[in-house]
């Protein structure tokens, strides 16, 4: 019987479908953000994600980011096993920060001056301009001076950045687990994941039932209303799935059953469930299994993904480009046309990000990561015509 572990072994530790899966998730985020065309309303969340589709928009929206984090947890778990803690931190920093820094800088220095309602001097002297660069450090600021004031979703330059602190927190948590030795015991990691969900559910129920807890407002903010309730435990679920990879069957019927189970479950729900950690807990194994099944599937090893992993660039540039298009084209009303333009614009910048920023940085990461070595291609020859790996 094929397992997640045997699929990894067949492909030198790299799932053949992960690049395509990441790109599909990034495109799904772009589609979700086509909702920027009109003011947010509760009724919009109840519409089907596509005409006649058996899934409402809120349920589609709810699933995508948890899948991203479950996939990330599965992938970086392998790095955590192979690398020292210092190497892991450098690896993650080089993967995230350079491309993020370039996107933030381009938004502030090019997109902002082109589209701001203010004069250039007023724009650069506004405190919002300087504070926007703090996004590079994970201190999230959504506004630039005078941008997108009349858009249906005003002021926000890049709403996708809200996940960056949670991603950094996930990596910090993984480092903590490695330092304490917790990571070496998969049962303890499973217990930590369940305990995290248990804490979120406890806080939620106490708030819902009016039971007083010390610092209840802070706990609710951290573990119910913010991403920690949805994203951090899904990252942990991805790690646990990797640790139990030799016991988890890799079966299409299981993945399809999980997808249909989620559609059926969401049919009885409402947008209020998006902040319900009970729903997050129930759906976590579904998301973790389905997304990583896809990543390990040879059938998703599409040739176009060999050109590069454009998913991070799509995620970084999609939102600000969509906001810019809505400012320049205020009469845009077709969601399909808006999505097509969004994909074209974001793909162009994603290709720039990959080939100019991310791929060169991957070469710096080569010695730390098997995935990086595969993406970056063959290493350059040494003066003695020896491969770098052999020279080391």
Asked whether the predicted pLDDT for residue 101 surpasses 80, the reply is yes
Tokens of 330: 């205020």
Domain segments of the chain as ranges: 4-37+53-378
Give the integer Cα–Cα distance in Å for 161 and 28: 16
Question: What letter would DSSP give residue 143?
Answer: B
Quote the percentage of the chain above a pLDDT of 90.
Answer: 63
pLDDT band at 172 (very low <50, low <70, confident <90, very high): very high
pLDDT tens digits for 179-227?
999 999 999 999 999 999 998 899 888 887 878 778 888 888 878 877 6
Mean pLDDT of 138-167: 94
Q: How far is CA 312 from CA 24, 132, 185, in A?
A: 11, 20, 31
Burial (CB count within 10 angstroms: exposed 0-12, middle 13-18, buried 19+), residue 105: middle
Give the integer Cα–Cα distance in Å for 373 and 359: 10
Q: For position 371, what pLDDT does the model report?
A: 56
Q: Which of 73, 342, 98 is nearest to 196 (CA)?
A: 73
Asked whether the predicted pLDDT for residue 81 surpasses 90, the reply is no
Give the integer Cα–Cα distance in Å for 169 and 69: 12
Please give the model's pTM, rounded to 2 decimal places: 0.89
Q: For position 385, what pLDDT does the model report?
A: 35
Q: For position 391, what pLDDT does the model report?
A: 32
Q: Which of 145, 163, 13, 162 is nearest to 77 (CA)?
A: 13
Classify each residue of 351-390 as buried b or exposed e, where b means 16 or more C-beta atoms within 10 Å of its C-beta: ebbbeebbbebbeebbbbbebbbebbeebeeeeeeeeeee
Q: What SS3 state is found at 98? A: helix
Give the integer Cα–Cα distance in Å for 355 and 58: 34
Give the integer Cα–Cα distance in Å for 177 and 188: 10
Quote the percentage of the chain above a pLDDT of 70.
Answer: 90
Task: Check residues 213 and 158 and name the one with the higher pLDDT.
Answer: 158
DSSP string, 313-345: HHHHHHHHHHHHHHHH-TT---HHHHHHHHHHH
Asked whether the predicted pLDDT for residue 160 surpasses 50, the reply is yes
pLDDT tens digits for 274-325?
888 999 999 999 999 999 999 999 888 766 666 678 999 999 999 999 999 9
Q: Which of 219, 223, 230 is nearest to 273 (CA)?
A: 230
Q: How far is CA 160 from CA 46, 153, 244, 291, 294, in A?
A: 22, 13, 31, 20, 24
Burial (CB count within 10 angstroms: exposed 0-12, middle 13-18, buried 19+), residue 79: buried
Least confident of 30-39, 131-140, 194-203, 226-235: 226-235
With DSSP H G I counted as helix, E B as strand and the rest as coil, what are the percentages for the chain, rounded to 5? 75, 0, 25
């Amino acid at each position: 019987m094929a397992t997640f572990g045997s699929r990894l072994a067949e492909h030198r530790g790299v799932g053949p479908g992960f690049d395509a899966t990441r790109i599909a998730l990034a495109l799904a985020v772009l589609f979700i953000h086509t909702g920027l065309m009109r003011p947010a309303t509760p009724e919009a969340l109840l519409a089907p994600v596509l005409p006649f589709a058996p899934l409402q928009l809120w349920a589609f929206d709810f699933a995508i980011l948890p899948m991203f984090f479950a996939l990330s947890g599965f992938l970086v778990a392998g790095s955590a096993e192979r690398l020292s803690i210092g190497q892991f931190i450098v690896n993650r920093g080089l993967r995230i920060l350079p491309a993020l820094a370039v996107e933030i800088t381009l938004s502030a220095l090019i997109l902002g001056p082109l589209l701001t309602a203010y004069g250039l001097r007023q724009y650069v002297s506004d405190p919002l301009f300087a504070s926007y660069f703090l996004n590079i450090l994970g201190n999230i600021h959504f506004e630039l001076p005078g941008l997108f004031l009349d858009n249906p979703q005003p002021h926000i330059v890049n709403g996708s950045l809200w996940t960056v602190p949670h991603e950094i927190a996930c990596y910090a948590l993984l480092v903590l687990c490695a330092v304490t030795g917790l990571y070496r015991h998969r049962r303890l990691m499973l217990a930590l994941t369940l305990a995290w969900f248990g804490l979120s559910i406890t806080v939620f129920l106490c708030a819902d039932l009016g039971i007083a807890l010390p610092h209840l407002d802070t706990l609710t903010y951290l573990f119910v209303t913010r991403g920690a309730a949805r994203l951090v435990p899904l990252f942990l679920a991805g790690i646990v799935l990797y640790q139990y990879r030799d016991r988890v069957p890799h079966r299409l019927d299981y993945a399809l059953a999980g997808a249909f189970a989620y559609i059926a479950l969401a049919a009885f729900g409402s947008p209020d469930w998006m902040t319900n950690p009970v729903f997050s807990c129930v759906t976590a194994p579904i998301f973790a299994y389905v997304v990583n099944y896809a990543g390990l599937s040879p059938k998703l090893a599409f040739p176009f993904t060999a050109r590069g992993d454009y998913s991070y660039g799509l995620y970084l540039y999609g939102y600000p480009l969509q906001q810019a298009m809505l400012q320049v084209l205020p009469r845009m009303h077709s969601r399909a046309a808006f999505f097509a333009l969004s994909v074209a614009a974001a793909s162009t910048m994603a290709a720039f990000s990959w080939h100019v920023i991310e791929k060169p940085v991957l070469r710096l990461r080569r010695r730390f990561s098997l995935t990086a070595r595969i993406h970056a291609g063959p290493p350059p020859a040494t003066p003695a015509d020896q491969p770098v790996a052999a020279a080391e």
